Copies of this chain bind each other. A is one copy, B any other.
Amino acid sequence: MLAANDSFYAAFEGRDMDAMSAVWEHSDRVSCVHPGWNVLRGWGAVAGSWFALFGGPQHRQFILTNHEAEVEGDVAWVTVDENLLDGDQAAATVTSLNLFARGADGTWRMIAHHSTPVAPTVG
| Selected contact of A101 from candidates B72, B97, B112, B117, CB within 8 Å | B72
Q: A74-B72, A75-B72, A97-B97 are in contact. Are A116 and B41 (CB under 8 A)?
A: no
Q: Are B117 and A79 in contact (CB under 8 A)?
A: no
Partner of A39, one of B35, B75, B81, B99: B81
What residues of chain B lie closer than 8 Å to A41, measured between beta carbons? 68, 79
Among A102-123, those with CB < 8 Å from B are: 111-112, 114-119, 121
Complex Cα gap A99–B70 (Å):
12
Residues of B with C-beta under 8 A to A5:
none
Q: Is the interface of A mostly helix, strand, loop or mixed?
A: strand
User: So how many copies of this chain end up in the complex?
Assistant: 2
Contact status A31-B114, CB under 8 Å: no
A30 and chain B: residue at smallest CB distance: B70
In the bound complex, do residue A73 and residue B73 qualify as a contact, i.e. CB atoms below 8 Å apart? Answer: yes
CA distance A121 to B37 in the complex (A): 10
Complex: A111 Cα to B81 Cα, angstroms? 18
Could you give 26 example pairs across A and B, Cβ below 8 Å?
A: A29-B70, A31-B79, A33-B116, A36-B118, A36-B119, A37-B119, A38-B81, A38-B118, A38-B119, A38-B121, A39-B66, A39-B95, A41-B68, A41-B79, A70-B111, A72-B73, A72-B101, A73-B73, A73-B74, A77-B99, A77-B111, A97-B97, A97-B112, A97-B114, A116-B116, A116-B117
